[in-house]
A and B are shown apart, each in its own frame.
Chain A
Amino acid sequence: DGLKSLETFMQNTHSAQAEFTQEVTAPSKNGQAPRVKTSSGSFAFERPGQFRFDYKKPFVQTIVADGKTLWLYDADLNQVTERAQAKALGSTPAALLASAPNLQALTKDFTLESAPEQDGLQWVHATPKAKDGQLQSVRVGLRGEQLAALEILDSFGQRSMIRFDKVQANAALPASTFDFKVPQGADVLKQ
């Protein structure tokens, strides 16, 4: 079942590299067809607490969590946003993936329950315990014991589905993978 797969994933997969495709569906208003925005890039994580999303298409945007600080860099705007990871991660989906060392740690921030199998994946439904957060729910999809999908429904009804493929589990990641260096001349915004 979903919870068993998630627990095995968290125990056996200490780090991973993968490609991802993300589809964000805005809540449809007064009958209009909902707008879908697609983006893609590469993803890596290492427990505890380190991960990065490198968006490549349609624009370059980098999110790096180095264990202490969450960095977000937008190449076109040449701007870096820096935020304490503890503040940002408590109820964000990334906590599910990387920073939580095990299932019990996850239950601090989320109520977890197995959800029915769908698209050939085992699913776990996670509801944030913090009521004021931006998230309604997160679903983690696993193929066997490997991460396959992450579906985020926020409190505005916007849905983001991230699908992972070419997942290399326990890949030896270079030490600098999660070091973020502020690019020359970029504006840094501490939040």
Chain B
Amino acid sequence: CALPPRTAVSTNAPDLWSGRMALTVEGDAGQSFSGLFVLEGGPEHGNLALSTPLGTVLAALRWAPGHAELRSSHGVQTADSLDALLRDALGSTIPIQALFAWLRGDAATAADWQADLSQINDGRLTAVRAQPLPRATLRIALDH
């Protein structure tokens, strides 16, 4: 189906997205998180910061070709790729590369993940990884 034209979302310049993000991994609260997020850059170079509503940063993720770094209250973790780092830190991975496309309303594919872009013009996105278990749901609500 043809996607409706993307309306410009005021606070979201092409390479800057902010809003709230929640990852729920069934039966594994350790891998789950929710918070306010700011996502900048793109799949090659970028960063993602996750904060509490009261304004304290929970985690700051940065990546560039050959290097990825996660700073959180547990200290600093590094790896030579974003996927490797997310797998170490979260035990599974969030499809950050596809996420940039989804947020622009482009239906990119990401291994194991199905994205629902039907409400992306209202700044809402849901992506589900049914397999491999445990089932994971990524939900995003963009700031208007």
Interface size class of B (residues with CB under 8 A): 20 to 34
Contact call B53/A72, Cβ cutoff below 8 A: yes
Contact present for A152 and B22 (CB under 8 Å): no
Which of the candidate stretches B82-90, B91-99, B101-109, B136-144 sits at the interface with the other chain?
A: B136-144
B29 CB within 8 Å of chain A: yes
B55 touches A58 (CB 8 A): no
Which listed residue (B56, B137, B141, B144) contacts A160, Cβ 8 A?
Answer: B56
Digitize A56-68: 1 where CB-to-B-CB distance is under 8 Å, 0 elsewhere. Answer: 0011010100000
A79 near B22: Cβ-Cβ < 8 Å:
yes
CA A159 – CA B60 in complex, angstroms? Answer: 15
**Residue in A24, A133, A135 whose Cβ sees the most chain B Cβ within 10 Å:** A24
Complex: chain A residue closest to B142, CB-CB: A76
Chain B residues 1-49 with CB under 8 Å of chain A are: 18, 20, 22, 24, 29, 32, 34, 36, 38, 49
In the bound complex, residues from chain B placing their C-beta under 8 Å from that of A190 are: 29
Distance, CA A158 to CA B49, complexed state (A) = 11
Known: A74-B22, A77-B141. A35 touches B55 (CB 8 A): no
Residues from chain B with Cβ under 8 Å of A134 in the complex: 56-58, 73
Contact present for A26 and B29 (CB under 8 Å)? no
B54 touches A61 (CB 8 A): no
Contact of A79 (CB < 8 Å), options: B36, B55, B139: B139
Q: Type the 1/0 row for B42-76, where 1 means its CB is closer than 8 Å to any CB of A.
A: 00000001010111111010000000000101000
Q: A77-B20, A79-B22 are in contact. Are A189 and B54 (CB under 8 A)?
A: no
A55–B20 Cα gap in the complex (Å)?
A: 13
Whether A76 lies near B73 (C-beta < 8 A) is no
Residues of chain A lying within 8 A (CB to CB) of residue B129: none
CA distance A158 to B56 in the complex (A): 7
Size class of the A contact interface (CB-based, 8 Å): 35 or more
- A96-133 CB contact bits vs B (8 Å, 1 = yes)? 00000000000000000000000000000000000011
Beyond A160-B55, A190-B29, A191-B29, whether A74 also contacts B49 by CB under 8 A is: no
Asked if A59 contacts B57 (CB within 8 A), the reply is no
Tell me if A85 is interfacial: C-beta within 8 Å of chain B: no
CB proximity to B under 8 Å, residues A140-157 = 152, 154-156
- The answer to whether A187 touches B24, judged by C-beta atoms less than 8 angstroms apart, is yes
Docked pose: A189 CA to B31 CA in angstroms: 11
**A93, CB-defined interface residue at 8 Å:** yes
Q: A132's closest neighbor in chain B, by CB? A: B73
A32-74 vs B: 1/0 string, CB under 8 Å?
0001010100000000000001010011010100000000101
Cβ B141 vs Cβ A59 within 8 A: yes
Residues in chain A within 8 A of chain B (CB atoms):
22, 24, 26, 35, 37, 39, 53, 55, 58-59, 61, 63, 72, 74, 76-79, 81, 92-94, 132-135, 152, 154-156, 158-160, 162, 187, 189-191
